[in-house]
Structure 1
Amino acid sequence: MQLPVLNSESSGAAKSGCSSHSCGSTDDQLGHLPEHIRQKVHNHPCYSEQAHHYFARMHVAVAPACNIQCNYCNRKYDCANESRPGVVSEVLSPDQAVKKVMAVAATIPQMTVLGIAGPGDPLANPERTFDTFRQLSEKAPDIKLCVSTNGLTLPDCVEELAKHNIDHVTITINCVDPDVGAKIYPWIFWNNRRIRGREAAEILIAQQQKGLEMLAERGILVKVNSVMIPGVNDEHLAEVSRIVKAKGAFLHNVMPLIAEAEHGTYYGVMGQRGPTHEELQKLQDQCAGDMNMMRHCRQCRADAVGLLGEDRGQEFTLDKIEAMDIDYEAAMVKRAEVHAQIARELEIKQAAKDAKQQLVAIEGLKAKGPATRPVLMAVATKGGGVINEHFGHAGEFLVYEASSEGVRFIGHRKTTPYCEGGDTCGDGESALDQSLRVLQGCEVVLCSKIGYEPWGPLEAAGITPNGEHAMEAIEDAVAAVYEEMRSAGKLAESAAVQKAA
């Protein structure tokens, strides 16, 4: 069984010529990149902020063993509703994983990326990992293959990774200082012995940096993940970002520590707190510059399936896959149609964006008014880059910052859906309280619809509900609301803006 190749012509890329404004490379994050790099990332939901609205990914859990211990990790805990790295419901053999990938590719035409990320470390399980990659390279050559690793054995695997045309590798690098590393990693297993403390951190850091350099030399794109741990490495991560960028990393993803006590991790049990939304944004901004920052990461399970922010893994358990009757030829035709449709949609959006930017440049609109303070707005969306989710059904909100300089994506905030379903909302008091906490700092929440009951508590918390932009493009709607606030005199220059001016 083999999926036919989706070539660039069938997906619509050839028709557009794959210019800087096509092939999904419409977000500003990719505009400066050379063409061959854009080709690698335009439909990768983890490497392109825009792509994550349209394209799906999946992880297969074929790598149970790990060669290091992290104070924030516990791979034994599993809840079907939990999204946390290392969590899986079932570990698969390579053959089972390939069968699952084929079923998902046929069922979810937007799926473009297959990653192996655990539940242990893929490169600590090289036989299982590379057997999976070998089979998929033959049977589904149009799917991008990715691997996530702690980097301890990465230098020994670079040649094998390159052999399988793996263009994307993620390395978790939490420090470049062994003294900081000793607080994060209790031990590593290296050369058939367990090593602890500062020595363990020194070895791990050296291997990570060597592997990063080797990948960059071969043109393999490297995303660096870093877990922000307040009081441990938060003040150190800007240095990490500077160093990995200098060594050739393409993207840096600073993620918040997940340390609930019920997960059974060392940090969770010891009461180590995670960062606030404000602390995380401040550090991400500090690490930014001319290096791309990933702000849309969902810290996915090791068996996640679907768009970022959703997990359809329960639809593809082994017993359900066995019962599926799939016409793979028809499925590939559908995949080609969906990819072409997305390409056309992105081209239309980019053309509109270019026209708007040209108008601004010609008329000098930005120069007409004074600088105004930035505003955070939360958005409820199911994907597709539009506002298409009921407030009460949202399991997460995307947060955007609007300012006189434009609109930029800040990150996402998970919550518990307030509404039980249907056209009316239940009392949902605890869920609403959670959403109010999650939305702290936001002044507006945009959604396709919102019930009467949450309206008052949101306004009392200083958050304006807005259901007037349903099915509109997110950034356009955020910009429109910001302009409405400016026109209404709600965006007086802050003292900081006045002083800077």
Structure 2
Amino acid sequence: MNQPMISLESLFQPIDVDALEKAATSGGCASSSCGSSAKPADMAADVWDRIKDHPCYSEEAHHYFARMHVAVAPACNIQCNYCNRKYDCANESRPGVVSEKLTPDQAMRKVVTVANEVPQLSVLGIAGPGDACYDWTKSKSTFDAISQQIPDIKLCISTNGLALPDRVDDLARMNVDHVTITINMVDPEIGAQIYPWIYYNKRRYEGIEAARILHERQMLGLEMLTARGILTKINSVMIPGINDQHLLEVNKWVKERGAFLHNVMPLISDPAHGTHFGLTGQRGPTPMELKELQDALEGGAKLMRHCRQCRADAVGLLGEDRGQEFTLDQLPETITYDPSKREAYREIVARERGDHVAAKEAAVATVKETAADAKLLVAVATQGGGRVNQHFGHAKEFQVYEAGPKGITFVGHRKVEAQYCEGGWGEDATLDTVIAALEGVQVVLCAKIGECPKDLLTAAGIRATDDWGFEYIETAIGELYLREFGVETTAAVA
């Protein structure tokens, strides 16, 4: 059956509601279930139904769907050496930072406004800026109100785990079926190097005793969530020289206790952020050190590699933050939820995802059939939709894929501090920071790139091409790999 031709490019621009509704009602899919062809063969249908539109729990979904965090929980019960919470900061992109704290009522206005304006929105999370399970009255009040107004939105919560066992029954009753726990150690001696103190049962604990209590509460909370069928994602911060190798043991522990995903993130330790680690010179890992650890963890708990270490008030697709469009001074005093944009968007994406999965499977098969032993690390400039669809000079990050004997796998992302093109001009100093971020990458795919930056990248040992602009990412990588290592290329070289 012929469908209206609306490109995914248009879906990430301001939405034309009439066009979306026309596409959604012109035959074909009656609900987003037509995207079920994207379900991995080794995943149970009920689990897929819970994660298929969740950008943090599904790498495939993060190309299409957005998350939103509301900063309603400022109080925290532990101190981390990598954390410095800031409540009035618009310039830093890291956990614990927000532009403004919200009351549950203010959060309600903001969520409804965003849901009306950002059709990609599928998930609402509370990730602080303190601890959502410790500052529980505000977290619970916010979720209760939102679930009544927008019943189809998924609810998520992030926690350090200390207060988690006390909240599991409430979370189950509220149908919160995605919980993230930050677990950086299972050895209290290592934990004492990460956590100066905790506050538990109206008492402050320090050192190894504090880390032991935290460890025991984290494991108990994880086991309780697993027993209730709640999906858990474990966040771990990779701190070179402290817990980097220890995270292999953490991975084993959380897998044994039923964790759904393990997300290993790099330590952010810029001294300007004012954290203990930042001020004492503790470095974060290089991109390749992080990749090597993640590779070593393969075969354990399933890894998440597409995390962006979001702010506690993030809005939008992973890798973007539209939070400054929805500050309190810009919100209407009264607003009514209109689901039409979100419903229309999901209909279009459901069809697109089926096409994308088919293209991905074909590309993976092409790479495997090439029978080459070589691996190719490829960085992609993308705005979403699973396509090579961003100008090199406008990229705030690059998504990195590895092609080789096992097929095509997503291995992470590389942030860049400043875009090469700002105001239409390129800066060599800025390109140096981009090149540094692309450590280990052999080829960059983008929608467009000028000859000057292409030549400078080549001089740094990185090839860049716009030959596959607007193709699916995996299709582009598959054809690139065939060009590099296929039979015809081999014969021509011989």
Q: Does structure 2 conserve the Cα–Cα contact (< 8 Å) formed by 1:13 and 1:340?
A: no
Matched residue type, 1:242? K
Partner of 1:301: 311
- Structure 1 runs not aligned, ≥5 long: 1-8, 493-501
Partner of 2:298: 288
Q: Does structure 1 conserve the Cα–Cα contact (< 8 Å) formed by 2:32 and 2:346?
A: no
Partner of 1:120: 130
Percent identity for Structure 1 against Structure 2:
56
Alignment of 1:27-66 (within 5 A): 30-66=40-76
Matched residue type, 1:165? N
Give the Å deviation of 1:457: 1.1
CA RMSD of aligned residues (A): 2.4
Give the 3 Å change call, closer, same or farther, for CA 128–491 of structure 1 in structure 2. farther
Output the CA distance in 1 between the equivalents of 2:154 and 2:54.
8
**Alignment pair present for 1:170 and 2:180:** yes
Pairing partner for 1:417 from 402, 416, 419: 419
Output the CA distance in 2 between the equivalents of 1:443 and 1:327.
49
Other structure's SS at 2:167 match: helix
Matched residue type, 2:271? A
The number of residues matched between the two structures is 467
Give the Å deviation of 1:13: 11
Output the CA distance in 1 between the equivalents of 2:411 and 2:118.
28
Output the CA distance in 2 between the equivalents of 1:374 and 1:51.
25
Q: Does structure 2 conserve the Cα–Cα contact (< 8 Å) formed by 1:298 and 1:308?
A: yes
Pairing partner for 1:261 from 258, 263, 271: 271
**Alignment pair present for 1:311 and 2:321:** yes
Partner of 1:335: 342
Matched residue type, 2:442? E
Give the 3 Å change call, closer, same or farther, for CA 327–188 of structure 1 in structure 2. closer
Alignment of 1:351-500 (within 5 A): 351-354=358-361, 366=368, 370-415=371-416, 416-421=418-423, 425-487=424-486, 488-489=489-490
Output the CA distance in 2 between the equivalents of 1:13 and 1:123.
43
Output the CA distance in 1 between the equivalents of 2:29 and 2:172.
26
Q: Does structure 2 conserve the Cα–Cα contact (< 8 Å) formed by 1:53 and 1:384?
A: yes
Other structure's SS at 1:376 match: strand
Flag as ranges the 4+ runs of structure 1 deviating above 6 A. none
Other structure's SS at 2:306 match: coil
Partner of 1:82: 92
**Alignment pair present for 1:241 and 2:255:** no
Q: Does structure 2 conserve the Cα–Cα contact (< 8 Å) formed by 1:24 and 1:42?
A: no
Matched residue type, 2:277? Y
After superposition, the C-alpha distances for 1:323-359 in whole angstroms (9 at most, x for unaligned) are: 7x86643xx12211110100011112234445667x7
Matched residue type, 1:474? I
Partner of 1:187: 197
Give the Å deviation of 1:82: 1.9
Give the 3 Å change call, closer, same or farther, for CA 380–366 of structure 1 in structure 2. closer
Give the Å deviation of 1:475: 1.0
Q: Does structure 2 conserve the Cα–Cα contact (< 8 Å) formed by 1:25 and 1:38?
A: no
Partner of 1:274: 284
Output the CA distance in 1 between the equivalents of 2:271 and 2:120.
36
Output the CA distance in 2 between the equivalents of 1:294 and 1:134.
29
- Structure 2 runs not aligned, ≥5 long: 1-23
Partner of 2:222: 212
Give the Å deviation of 1:282: 1.2
Output the CA distance in 1 between the equivalents of 2:298 and 2:358.
27
Output the CA distance in 1 between the equivalents of 2:66 and 2:351.
18
Give the 3 Å change call, closer, same or farther, for CA 143–180 of structure 1 in structure 2. same
Output the CA distance in 2 between the equivalents of 1:70 and 1:147.
19
Give the 3 Å change call, closer, same or farther, for CA 491–75 of structure 1 in structure 2. farther
Give the Å deviation of 1:77: 6.9
Give the 3 Å change call, closer, same or farther, for CA 366–224 of structure 1 in structure 2. closer
Q: Does structure 1 conserve the Cα–Cα contact (< 8 Å) formed by 2:196 and 2:207?
A: yes
Matched residue type, 2:347? A
Give the 3 Å change call, closer, same or farther, for CA 491–198 of structure 1 in structure 2. farther
Output the CA distance in 1 between the equivalents of 2:119 and 2:138.
26
Other structure's SS at 1:322 match: coil
After superposition, the C-alpha distances for 1:389-413 in whole angstroms (9 at most, x for unaligned) are: 1000000001111113311111000
Give the 3 Å change call, closer, same or farther, for CA 110–469 of structure 1 in structure 2. same
Q: Does structure 2 conserve the Cα–Cα contact (< 8 Å) formed by 1:77 and 1:263?
A: no
Q: Does structure 1 conserve the Cα–Cα contact (< 8 Å) formed by 2:359 and 2:475?
A: no
Give the Å deviation of 1:420: 1.4
Give the 3 Å change call, closer, same or farther, for CA 350–203 of structure 1 in structure 2. same
Output the CA distance in 2 between the equivalents of 1:23 and 1:406.
22
Give the 3 Å change call, closer, same or farther, for CA 407–377 of structure 1 in structure 2. same
**Alignment pair present for 1:346 and 2:353:** yes
Matched residue type, 1:436? I
Q: What TM-score do you get using the length of structure 1 for normalisation?
A: 0.89
Give the Å deviation of 1:211: 0.3
Q: Does structure 1 conserve the Cα–Cα contact (< 8 Å) formed by 2:149 and 2:337?
A: no
Partner of 2:11: none
Q: Does structure 2 conserve the Cα–Cα contact (< 8 Å) formed by 1:87 and 1:119?
A: yes
Output the CA distance in 2 between the equivalents of 1:474 and 1:353.
8
Matched residue type, 1:419? C
